[in-house]
Amino acid sequence: MFATVMPSLKALFLPLLHKFIHTDFHEAVARMTLIDRLLFLIIHSIDKLGIWHRLPVILGLLYLAIRRHLHEEYNLLNVGKTPVGVRFNPADFPFRTADGKFNDPFNEGAGSAGTFFGRNILPVEQKSKLLRPDPMVVATKLLARRELINTGKQFNVVAASWIQFMIHDWIDHLEDTQQIELNAPKEVASLCPLKSFKFYKTKEVPTGFYEIKNGHLNTRTPWWDGSAIYGSNAEKLKKVRTFKDGKLKISEDGLLLQDQDGYAISGDVRNSWAGVSTLQALFVQEHNAVCDALKKEYQDLDDEELYHHARLVTSAVIAKIHTIDWTVELLKTDTLRAGMRANWYGVLGKRFKDTFGHVGGAALGGLVGLKKPNNHGVPYSLTEEFVSVYRMHSLLPDYLDLRDVNAKPGPNKSPPSTDKVDMSDLIGRKGEAALSEIGFTRQMVSMGHQACGALELWNYPLWLRDVIPQDIDGQDIPEHVDLPALEVYRDRERSVARYNDFRRGLLLIPISKWEDLTDDKEAITVLHDVYGNDVEELDLLVGLMAEKKIKGFAISETAFIIFLVMATRRLEADRFFTSNFNEETYTKKGLEWVNTTENLKDVLDRHYPKMTKTWMNSTSAFTVWDAPPDAHNPIPIYLRVPH
């Protein structure tokens, strides 16, 4: 009876619904269930008013929960074939594997190195428009830094390094052997550090699937498995392990060990710099400290068991820091603080979960500790769109402002500046040599006290317009590249939708004129110069930088929507954060280690107890360290109303 009535209800309801929604969404809504249409109408009505981030926290969270549900239903697209009828016993693989296999019991290859990037939006073919407008024109006129725009006290260079540390854990495209060359057009050639540059195409691979026929392969493991320090294959893992007491290789000065040629030994050293290397070294120390604690507690564990348990613990600590520390500072609002903590602890909160364990579903008890993983019917991967919104090189400064850590602290625990080191001297092997001279403490304190760049137009570092990339071994590749121009090209090459289609695909209202995007009159003039009146041609990267930011957000709302769905997915699709997040898998001591670590400051305090006490005034290690601590707010977070 119900099944026969539903089509009639849908037919009656749809024309009425169309009167209240943007015409660009009529087709998308037609594919939704009746309930989802009603849910879409709720968020769409709020979007038209532009007020979700000004709603009381509890209502803002409800809006985000509805949005996340819709994106999980309609914005998780598989690329490649899915195995049918194949299942392995998770008990046969109680730990994370070197290449990410055997996490999903129904799909042994899901999330492993060498699998396809997924999609949040169907590919938009752009082969005929790869050079329209020219990427070097876009980079020169709209992206290249004029003068550093920073984030004030909100975000520091540690935070900028952290997201690169995560990228080295999650994503990297397999390249082809064929090279492409871009040449600077005459109108901008005099302003381009490189008049031309060559790079390798992204390798396009047939998927064997009827809907999305071609895709690209991820050479890293997209699970939150710490592969930035462990590597994404057995060969790399073998190079970083000591094979004694479960530990990883580390130098006596607390930095990454270097080989005889001066290259860092770590899980992933491609296109790296001293900031990322410092964080890799810190979490190698963390892994080794976990090994010591486990060996003391469980003396019968051998090298292999100690390594596996310590990797689980360290990876979970990294994931937790990113979820409830880094992201909270990136999206500095009460609504997102409540939301990110709910992802980990549930709305019942940490105290309840620590006392009674995981109770209820994801909403009450959080994603971590769910009875079983949930991939929403789509094999786990990170997506092309996820890669695109994580193009955040504008966070990087022009130089590192070195501090004197032997001097007495100044106001707000601020150390005096001594030297400025160009960022170009801190990348690759040269950067490792410089870091050895600087030392861990001075590097970390210097990054902590320096604000990072803002994700805005005209703020992409000039030194990245003539940069030498490195291969998987950290060795320089002969060809210099113009990175902002390359990133514009990459999105087009990989068929990632341009800005307006990207927003439509995420059920966000598109812009119809440049003034919808920004209030900056100069930006509007230059956008018109580069793209004419055609807002549909606007490149995604430019749109993300130009978009008006929500108060407290260091990123655009458009980028945030991808974060909303994928940040959840990284946790709930992984059995080591859900069904296997328990004492049996992690050990009691290991689980206690994860549960008592709340932020990056806790990790720093564990290994450098004097550092934060002497030099850090802020609450979070991702905020500029001389910032005042977060003020106490007596109002419970779920009862707060944004100002």
Burial class (CB in 10 A: 0-12, 13-18, 19+), 206: exposed
CB 121 within 8 Å of CB 506: yes
Residue 366 near residue 344, CB atoms below 8 Å: yes
37-43: long-range contacts at Cβ-Cβ below 8 A with a sequence spacing of 24 or more?
37/13, 39/66, 39/69, 39/70, 40/70, 40/507, 41/17, 42/66, 43/67, 43/70, 43/507
Is 393 annotated to bind ligand? yes
Cα→Cα distances 370→103, 341, 373, 433, 579, Å: 15, 15, 7, 45, 6
Active site (annotated) includes residue 168: yes
- State the Cα–Cα distance between residues 541 and 138, nearest whole angstrom: 10
* End-to-end C-alpha distance for the chain, whole angstroms: 50
Instruction: Single out the residue of 123, 347, 115, 60 nearest to residue 232, CA to CA.
Output: 115
Residue found under tokens 């609450």:
619
DSSP summary character for residue 553: B
Is residue 529 within 8 Å of 141, Cβ to Cβ? Answer: yes
- Measured between alpha carbons, how far is 596 from 619 in angstroms, rounded to an integer? 17
Rounded to whole angstroms, the Cα distance separating 303 from 547 reads 51
* Euclidean distance between CA atoms 475 and 471, whole angstroms: 5
Helix (H, G, I), strand (E, B) or coil at 14: helix
Report the Cα 340 to chain-centroid distance in Å: 14
Distance CA(186)–CA(164), nearest Å, equals: 34
Query: Residues with Cβ < 8 Å from 633, sequence gap 6 or more?
Result: 640
Six token digits for residue 571: 């946790």
- 44, 71, 168, 216: the active-site residue: 168
Instruction: Name the H helices within 75-185.
Output: 135-138, 157-170
Residues that constitute the known binding site for heme b = 393
Residues making up the annotated binding site are 393
- Please list the active-site residues: 168
